[in-house]
Chains A and B, each alone.
Chain A
Amino acid sequence: MKYIDEFRRHDLALNLASAIAAEAASSREYRFMEFCGGHTHAIFRYGVQDLMPPNVRFVHGPGCPVCVLPVPRIDNAIELASLPGVILATYADMMRVPATKRTSLIKAKAAGADVRMVYSTQDALKIARDNPEREVAFFAIGFETTTPATAVAMLQARTEGLANFSVFSNHVLTPPALQHLLEAEDGADAARVDGFIGPSHVSTVIGSAPYEPFAAEYRRPVVIAGFEPLDVMQATLMLIRQINEGRHEVENQYIRAVTREGNRKAQKLMAEVFELRDTFEWRGLGWVPHSA
């Protein structure tokens, strides 16, 4: 597949691995946190860790919007789906995530709740159009990658006068979570992290600029990277070079998709539709101010 296969090439992986081995100073450790589950997946699936010298380690970060959603929010979704007259539309990612008392959306569906899997917010809107007598609640979840699609749907629903469409929003913001990690990381007993591999597709939307204050304030380099194994390896090389040169900047490895400004159109839609919460709970991180 174009833009995928090339970024999994064996010869280039070996090339990057030898550059990393040559440039990583044997006198120190390099510990890099990948924020995204997509990077963690690439590291494990393609054995990227095994291509690193022993002193270059990946510290696995928060993961994905599904991983960080606290259980009570899934309980809420199940309660919603179980109300008479309600159809709950959800991305398939959420269906099997365990809620309390060993329930899940898929079990609730089996027990009679009207839970519908959708690929897109456009499918959820169609369910609302086709079922005017029912209330359609969309279980909205996602980082900035996914939030614009919800914003578009809400504006469409308003334009069309679809009064039976509503959104149960669980959208979260990545920069506040990164700041939260950096603050914790500055604490005495926290695991030491020397730099961050920054989000891929979140960054297509928000751009690379939002990470700049953290890199400067906490003196940690951030390199935005694509989700393919070669992307992760090249970003690792970039982080090693920054550290060796005493730099702590935001750099962009994923130049084929990410700009400094990001997707202005998507940012404008999000700003138009959403309001910032004072605080929101992340599974594994706790309550993070202004993060949703």
Chain B
Amino acid sequence: MCLALPAEVIALKDDGENATVSLEGVRKTISLALVDDVTVGDYVLVHVGFALAKLSAEEAAETLALMAEAGVPGAENLGGGVEGAEGTGGAA
């Protein structure tokens, strides 16, 4: 029931309250009543005919980059890490 699909905004309606989105080429009119500052080219999460949220391209890219190194969001704020790992060279 809480399914929501990412769709690209391809046109804003003149009334300012609705937009046309494209979902794999299927066009649909959705309501913008729940979001602010949506522009053409944005991706929004569409649920029961309403845009629920704008998707962040930067955060999506960061999530994928973290998955590639098996990291997790927010880990950079936790401190620690492996930077201080012991070297393997000979004694100084």
Closest to B66 in A: A234
Q: Are B63 and A255 in contact (CB under 8 A)?
A: yes
CB neighbours (8 Å) of A198 from chain B are none
Question: Does A52 lie at the interface of the complex (its beta carbon under 8 Å from any beta carbon of B)?
Answer: no
Q: Are B72 and A64 in contact (CB under 8 A)?
A: no
Cβ proximity bits A1-41 to B, threshold 8 Å, 1 near / 0 not: 11110110000100110110000000000000000111000
A84 smallest CB distance to B (angstroms): 29
User: Known: A253-B73, A256-B56. Is A38-B3 also a contact (CB below 8 A)?
Assistant: yes
User: Known: A2-B6, A120-B50, A263-B34. Is A241-B45 also a contact (CB below 8 A)?
Assistant: no
Question: Does B31 lie at the interface of the complex (its beta carbon under 8 Å from any beta carbon of A)?
Answer: yes
Closest to B28 in A: A119
Q: Are A146 and B1 in contact (CB under 8 A)?
A: yes
What separation, in Å, do the CA atoms of A255 and B60 have in the docked complex? 7
A117 smallest CB distance to B (angstroms): 12
Question: Does B11 lie at the interface of the complex (its beta carbon under 8 Å from any beta carbon of A)?
Answer: no
Question: Does B40 lie at the interface of the complex (its beta carbon under 8 Å from any beta carbon of A)?
Answer: no
Closest to A123 in B: B49
Closest to A239 in B: B72
B89 smallest CB distance to A (angstroms): 26
A interface bracket (residues with beta carbon within 8 Å of B): 35 or more
Q: Which of A253-281 contact B (CB under 8 A)?
A: 253, 255-258, 263, 265-266, 269
Q: Which of B34-68 contact A (CB under 8 A)?
A: 34-36, 43, 45, 47-50, 52-53, 55-57, 59-60, 62-64, 66-68
User: Known: A12-B68, A253-B63. Is A121-B48 also a contact (CB below 8 A)?
Assistant: yes
Q: Are B2 and A252 in contact (CB under 8 A)?
A: no
B interface bracket (residues with beta carbon within 8 Å of A): 35 or more
What separation, in Å, do the CA atoms of A230 and B49 have in the docked complex? 26
Closest to A231 in B: B63
Question: Does A181 lie at the interface of the complex (its beta carbon under 8 Å from any beta carbon of B)?
Answer: no
One of A72-80, A160-168, A182-190, A200-208 contacting the partner: A200-208
Q: Are A269 and B1 in contact (CB under 8 A)?
A: no
CB neighbours (8 Å) of B69 from chain A are 15
For B73, give its contact among A3, A38, A252 (CB under 8 Å).
A252
A25 smallest CB distance to B (angstroms): 16
A18 smallest CB distance to B (angstroms): 7
Q: Are A251 and B74 in contact (CB under 8 A)?
A: yes
CB neighbours (8 Å) of B56 from chain A are 255-257
For B6, give its contact among A3, A202, A241 (CB under 8 Å).
A3
Q: Are A199 and B2 in contact (CB under 8 A)?
A: yes
Q: Are A120 and B49 in contact (CB under 8 A)?
A: yes
CB neighbours (8 Å) of B1 from chain A are 37, 64-66, 91, 93, 141-143, 145-146
Q: Are A149 and B73 in contact (CB under 8 A)?
A: no
Question: Does B70 lie at the interface of the complex (its beta carbon under 8 Å from any beta carbon of A)?
Answer: yes
Q: Are A6 and B64 in contact (CB under 8 A)?
A: yes
Chosen A-B contacts, 15 in total, with CB atoms closer than 8 Å, are A15-B68, A16-B70, A91-B1, A119-B49, A145-B2, A145-B52, A146-B1, A149-B31, A152-B34, A152-B50, A238-B72, A251-B73, A256-B55, A263-B34, A263-B53
- Report A's interface with B, CB cutoff 8 A: 1-4, 6-7, 12, 15-16, 18-19, 36-38, 64-66, 91, 93, 119-123, 141-143, 145-146, 148-149, 152, 199-202, 204-205, 227, 230, 234, 237-238, 241, 251-253, 255-258, 263, 265-266, 269
